[in-house]
Every structure is written in C-alpha cells, then in structure tokens.
Amino acid sequence: MADFKVLISQEEIETRIKEIANQIDQDYQGKKVTLICILKGAFIFLTDLVRNINKNDIIIEFMAVSSYGNEKRSSGKIKIIKDVDRDLTDEHIIIVEDIVDTGLTIDFLIKYFNNKGVASVKTCSLLDKAVCRKIDVPVDYSGFTIEDRFVIGYGLDLAQEYRNLPYVAEIKED
Ligand code: IMP
C-alpha cells in the first residue's frame, strides 16, 4: 500500500470540470466536435466532463496509448494499443488526457491526428505538470497545474492500481 495524501479534492475537481465544460460549449457553438478519450487514465475525467457539456452534437471516441509500462517515468516511446475506429477527416477533435507530463504523448497524438486530416485539434487535460515538459505542447483546456510529483486517483494509476480514488492524491516517491 503506497503512502499518499489528497492533493485535489473531489469538490475542486467537480467545480473545475464544470468550468471546462462550459468553455467547450461556448467554443464549439454550432460546431460538431469529437472528444477522444485517451485510455486508460482519462476515462473518469471524460465521463464527468461530457456529462457537464450541454451541447448534444458531440461524438465520443476512445484510444489507448502506452508510454510508461509499469514505471513512473515516461519511456518516450508511444505505442498505440487501440486506435480510433472511425475516419476523422475534417472533424474538429479534442484530445482528452488525464495528465500532460513530458508532453511526448500529446505531441505524438497531435501530429498523428493532423496527419489524418482533421479540421482542428485541441487538447484537454485534467492535470498539467508544466515544469516537466521535454517538448512544448499546447494544453488548450487545463484543469490544474501541478508540481513535479507523482499523482494517483481519479483515473490515474500506479502500476494499474488506485484509479478508482475519487480525488487526486500525491504519492510519496520511494
Ligand atoms: P507524457 O507523455 O510524459 O506527457 O505522459 C503522459 C502520460 O503519462 C499520462 O497520460 C499518464 O498516463 C502518465 N503520467 C504522467 N505523470 C503521471 C503521474 O503523476 N501519475 C500517473 N500517470 C502519469
């Protein structure tokens, strides 16, 4: 059992998600948009986010990528485990991530979808470890900026565990 403490409470997450959802409603008024949930980490964020978006012309897709294995640091090699199974040509898309750390995953995904001929790509992440960037990437909708610390809960894991915590917790490094 890892030692951890709550960093961002359930209430804080709920409030921030409502704000992001309102922003997406405003920004995509009259436009269809596809939200791409990056599995596994973003699954809880995505479900809470879409339930707070009022417009109904949103499409939800799932994609699974891996860069960490069971480590706490990104390997930098992004592997597509499951691709989106629909043609996204000319669609407006928002990539929904749990956390942007080095930026390598989101950078890979932005390029990947641009190559597929989408109309526009925006990025949305619950958490942003801005100080850990190895590559400059845009985070268009960002929930919370956090320091360089390993976090778990609300979808985020440590070796696949702790995803079900209803808050974000800081884990003590070994
Ligand atoms: P990046 O490619 O380094 O930006 O890493 C992005 C991915 O690394 C995220 O989607 C997470 O799956 C994982 N990740 C980065 N930091 C953490 C963390 O603190 N806790 C859990 N997973 C993390």
- Band of residue 174 on the pLDDT scale cut at 50, 70, 90: low
Pocket probe for ligand 1: among 156, 158, 161, 171, the residue whose CB has the most ligand atoms within 8 Å is 156
Nearest atom within ligand 1 for CA of residue 132: 3
Pocket probe for ligand 1: among 7, 72, 74, 134, the residue whose CB has the most ligand atoms within 8 Å is 74
- Band of residue 158 on the pLDDT scale cut at 50, 70, 90: very high
Q: Which pLDDT score, from 0 to 100, does residue 68 have?
A: 61
Clarify whether 148 is annotated catalytic.
no
Q: For residue range 121-156, what is the model confidence (pLDDT) as tens digits?
A: 999 999 999 999 999 999 999 999 999 999 999 999
Q: Report residues whose beta carbon is within 6 angstroms of any ligand 1 atom.
A: 41, 67-68, 74, 97-105, 150-151, 156
Q: Which pLDDT score, from 0 to 100, does residue 71 have?
A: 60
- Does the pLDDT at position 1 exceed 70? no
Q: Provide the 3-class DSSP secondary structure of residue 116.
A: coil
- Band of residue 171 on the pLDDT scale cut at 50, 70, 90: confident
Using the mean position of ligand 1's atoms as its centre, give its distance from the Cα of residue 99 in Å: 5
Q: For residue range 104-130, what is the model confidence (pLDDT) as tens digits?
A: 999 999 999 999 999 999 999 999 999
User: Phi and psi at residue 114, in whole multiples of 5°?
Assistant: -60, -40
Q: For residue range 12-49, what is the model confidence (pLDDT) as tens digits?
A: 999 999 999 999 999 999 999 999 999 999 999 999 99
114-146 exposure pattern, b = at least 16 Cβ within 10 A, e = fewer = eeeebeebbbbbbbbbeebbeeebebebbbbeb
Distance CA 22, CA 33 (A): 14
Mean pLDDT of all residues in the chain?
94
The class that CATH gives domain 10-151 is alpha beta
Distance CA 113, CA 38 (A): 13
Q: For residue range 45-94, what is the model confidence (pLDDT) as tens digits?
A: 999 999 999 999 999 999 999 876 556 666 678 999 999 999 999 999 99
**Domain residue spans of the chain:** 10-151
Q: Provide the 3-class DSSP secondary structure of residue 58.
A: strand
Q: Which pLDDT score, from 0 to 100, does residue 75 have?
A: 65
